[in-house]
């Protein structure tokens, strides 16, 4: 069978003529005498092409066309018309989505040529859309591998679904840790739409969804609601979206099924990663605490550096994510000191050159500890370069000016200020005013000028006027 053709024509003798001629050519023919009946057939049958008479009593060809094009945009429709009002009708029909237009009388070979051309186009457009889906699956895989934070992964998925299906509403439900309930974790709703899904999905419904492992489609008031189970090793979540234009085809459903499994595995990985990372971070925090416990003079130093770094960062208007990088880097900045012996680290008097050189290794030691962990590159760089100076006389690399990452320049100011206002075994602590004067004096040589300015602005707001002269 070369293809299934639905012929809609009110004239029985013409219908039979089509049937005879086209069956002989190897096509399967379904006949219908009017548009309404034709729509009924399309709901049950998978048709490859439609031959449609324009002039029919009741629902005419145009009405039929506008009804089916809403649902089956890609189905080719060949319009047959008498000579009357030909050009206007042809323009109108093509605008409404008809793929071809033939005027009576025509020969069988003309019709066959048009049918074949339309079938070829259809299979080509199917291949293109399948390629697009394959590409999306590929892109999704890349996303899943690269995004290890659940929230970012969900954002990306919402973006992908929006691009593919243009739904009016999307929601992603994930289970709570303590119960089997799936609660709304991410949603996106078009401007004029309201979110009318529950915050918690019905438990019986989700059990049914995961048991069947199939997408559940609910149709109501011309809207299709799709519930896609996200399945990894366990039941990971539910993706819900509303397609009011009913454009989801069975092929797309298959794609969504695969999507659901991939996404399930992706979310599981990201969750596991977050868990591992947070336990690593906890382990590192306790390492920092134990480091500070060795030296009573530095107790709470990392906390204080984080405080002043964030003060500067907020004053500069950094984003939440950038502030998080700054916070983490501040906590970790001196971690490498854990590898330095007590005799040097805790020495009450000034250090000799050899001892100073050992101390200077601590940024590199920090990086060696952090490297195996999946810590952001920016956090690693901030800790590595927090003793660089803008005049190039710092360590470990002797970077100059803008070669030093911004986060490191912020840490340098916060670190120095925190150290100056704290007691050390070999010197008394400075007053805040003195420390600020020292920062100002060294702005442009040791410290970045702008960062010092931001710091001064922030600290004068925080600790009252009069501190900064």
Binding footprint of Fe ion, residue count (CB under 5 A): 1
What count of other Cβ atoms lies within 10 Å of the Cβ of residue 469?
9
Q: Interaction with Fe ion in 107-146: which residues (CB under 5 A)? A: none
Nearer to Fe ion, 292 or 334 (CB): 334
Structure tokens at 226: 């799709």
Q: How far is the CB of 383 from Fe ion (least distance, A)?
A: 8
Structure tokens at 399: 């970077």
Q: How far is the CB of 149 from Fe ion (least distance, A)?
A: 29
Nearer to Fe ion, 118 or 383 (CB): 383
Nearer to Fe ion, 334 or 378 (CB): 334
Q: How far is the CB of 163 from Fe ion (least distance, A)?
A: 46
Of 53, 292, 315, 334, the one binding Fe ion (CB under 5 A) is 334
Whether 236 and 213 have beta carbons less than 8 Å apart is answered as: no
Q: Interaction with Fe ion in 19-38: which residues (CB under 5 A)? A: none
**Which segment (144-152, 263-271, 301-309, 327-335) binds Fe ion by CB under 5 A?**
327-335
**Which segment (75-83, 197-205, 269-277, 326-334) binds Fe ion by CB under 5 A?**
326-334
**Which segment (33-41, 75-83, 219-227, 331-339) binds Fe ion by CB under 5 A?**
331-339
Q: How far is the CB of 408 from Fe ion (least distance, A)?
A: 11
Q: Interaction with Fe ion in 151-210: which residues (CB under 5 A)? A: none
- Of 260, 248, 240, 238, the closest CA to residue 165 belongs to 248
Nearer to Fe ion, 334 or 448 (CB): 334
Nearer to Fe ion, 263 or 411 (CB): 411
Nearer to Fe ion, 169 or 337 (CB): 337
Site string for Fe ion, 343-382 (x = CB under 5 A): ----------------------------------------
Q: Cα(127)–Cα(125) distance, rounded to whole angstroms?
A: 5
Nearer to Fe ion, 90 or 291 (CB): 291
Q: Cα(143)–Cα(161) distance, rounded to whole angstroms?
A: 13
SS3 for the chain is CCCEEEEECCCHHHHHHHHHHHHHCCCEEEEECCHHHHHHHHHHCCCCEEEEECCCCCCCHHHHHHHHHHHCCCCCEEEEECCCCHHHHHHHHHHCCCCEEEECCCCHHHHHHHHHHHHHHHHHHHHHHHHHHHHHHHHHHHHHHHCCCHHHHHHHHHHHHHHHHCCCEEEEEEECCCCCCEEEEEEEECCCCCCCCCCECCHHHHHHHHHHCCCEEEEECCEEEEEEEEECCCEEEEEEEEECCCCCCHHHHHHHHHHHHHHHHHHHHHHHHHHHHHHHHHHHHHHHHHHHHHCHHHCCHHHHHHHHHHHHHHHHCCCHHHHHHHHHHHHHCCHHHHHCCHHHHCCCCCCCHHHHHHHCCHHHHHHHHHCCCCCCHHHHHHHHCCCCCCCCCCCCCCCCHHHCCHHHHHHHHHHHHHHHCCCECCECCCCHHHHHHHHHHCECCCECHHHHHHHHHHHHHHHCCCCCC
Q: How far is the CB of 197 from Fe ion (least distance, A)?
A: 51
**Which segment (21-29, 161-169, 292-300, 330-338) binds Fe ion by CB under 5 A?**
330-338
Q: Cα(36)–Cα(179) distance, rounded to whole angstroms?
A: 50
What count of other Cβ atoms lies within 10 Å of the Cβ of residue 58?
12
Whether 239 and 260 have beta carbons less than 8 Å apart is answered as: yes
Q: Cα(82)–Cα(315) distance, rounded to whole angstroms?
A: 75
Q: How far is the CB of 330 from Fe ion (least distance, A)?
A: 11
Nearer to Fe ion, 311 or 411 (CB): 411
Q: How far is the CB of 379 from Fe ion (least distance, A)?
A: 15
Ranked by CB distance to Fe ion, the top (closest) residue is: 334
**Which segment (70-78, 213-221, 333-341, 437-445) binds Fe ion by CB under 5 A?**
333-341
Nearer to Fe ion, 156 or 333 (CB): 333
**Which segment (79-87, 199-207, 328-336, 372-380) binds Fe ion by CB under 5 A?**
328-336
Establish if 315 lies at the interface with Fe ion (CB under 5 A).
Answer: no
Q: How far is the CB of 413 from Fe ion (least distance, A)?
A: 13
Nearer to Fe ion, 48 or 334 (CB): 334
Q: How far is the CB of 338 from Fe ion (least distance, A)?
A: 12
Nearer to Fe ion, 90 or 412 (CB): 412
Q: How far is the CB of 347 from Fe ion (least distance, A)?
A: 16
Site string for Fe ion, 230-249 (x = CB under 5 A): --------------------
Nearer to Fe ion, 438 or 460 (CB): 438
Q: How far is the CB of 359 from Fe ion (least distance, A)?
A: 8
Residue ranges binding Fe ion (CB under 5 A): 334
């Amino acid at each position: 069978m070369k293809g299934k053709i639905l012929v809609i024509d009110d004239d029985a003798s013409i219908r039979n003529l089509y049937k005879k001629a086209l069956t002989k050519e190897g096509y399967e023919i379904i006949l219908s005498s009017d548009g309404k009946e034709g729509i009924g057939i399309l709901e049950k049958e998978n048709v490859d092409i439609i031959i449609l008479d324009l002039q029919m009593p009741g629902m005419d060809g145009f009405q039929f066309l506008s009804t089916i094009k809403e649902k089956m945009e890609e189905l080719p429709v060949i319009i047959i018309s008498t000579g009357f009002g030909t050009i206007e009708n042809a323009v109108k029909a093509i605008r409404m989505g008809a793929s071809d237009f033939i005027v009576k009388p025509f020969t069988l070979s003309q019709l066959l040529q048009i049918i074949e051309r339309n079938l070829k186009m259809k299979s080509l457009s199917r291949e293109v859309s399948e390629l697009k889906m394959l590409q999306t699956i590929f892109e999704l895989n890349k996303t899943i591998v690269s995004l290890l934070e659940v929230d970012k992964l969900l954002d990306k998925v919402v973006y992908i679904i929006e691009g593919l299906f243009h739904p009016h509403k999307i929601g992603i439900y994930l289970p709570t840790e303590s119960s089997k309930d799936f609660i709304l974790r991410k949603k996106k709703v078009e401007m004029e739409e309201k979110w009318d899904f529950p915050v918690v999905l019905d438990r019986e419904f989700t059990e049914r969804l995961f048991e069947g492992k199939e997408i559940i489609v609910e149709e109501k008031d011309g809207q299709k609601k799709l519930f896609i189970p996200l399945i990894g090793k366990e039941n990971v979540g539910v993706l819900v979206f509303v397609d009011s234009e009913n454009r989801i085809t069975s092929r797309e459903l298959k794609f969504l099924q695969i999507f659901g499994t991939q996404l399930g595995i992706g979310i599981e990985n990201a969750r596991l990663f977050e868990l591992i990372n947070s336990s690593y971070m906890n382990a590192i925090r306790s390492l920092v605490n134990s480091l500070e416990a060795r030296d009573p003079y530095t107790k709470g130093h990392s906390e204080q550096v984080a405080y002043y770094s964030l003060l500067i960062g907020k004053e500069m208007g950094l984003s939440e994510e950038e502030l998080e990088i700054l916070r983490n880097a501040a906590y970790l900045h001196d971690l490498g000191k854990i590898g330095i012996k007590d005799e040097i680290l805790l020495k009450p008097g000034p250090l000799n050159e050899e001892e100073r050189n050992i101390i200077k290794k601590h940024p590199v030691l920090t990086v060696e500890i952090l490297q195996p962990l999946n810590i952001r590159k920016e956090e690693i760089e901030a800790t590595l370069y927090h003793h660089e100076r803008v005049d190039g006389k710092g360590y470990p690399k002797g970077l100059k000016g803008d070669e030093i990452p911004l986060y490191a320049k912020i840490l340098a100011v916060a670190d120095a200020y925190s150290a100056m206002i704290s007691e050390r075994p070999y010197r008394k602590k400075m007053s805040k005013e003195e420390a600020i004067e020292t920062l100002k004096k060294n702005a442009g040589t040791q410290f970045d000028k702008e960062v010092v300015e931001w710091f001064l602005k922030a600290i004068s707001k925080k600790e009252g006027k009069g501190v900064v002269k």
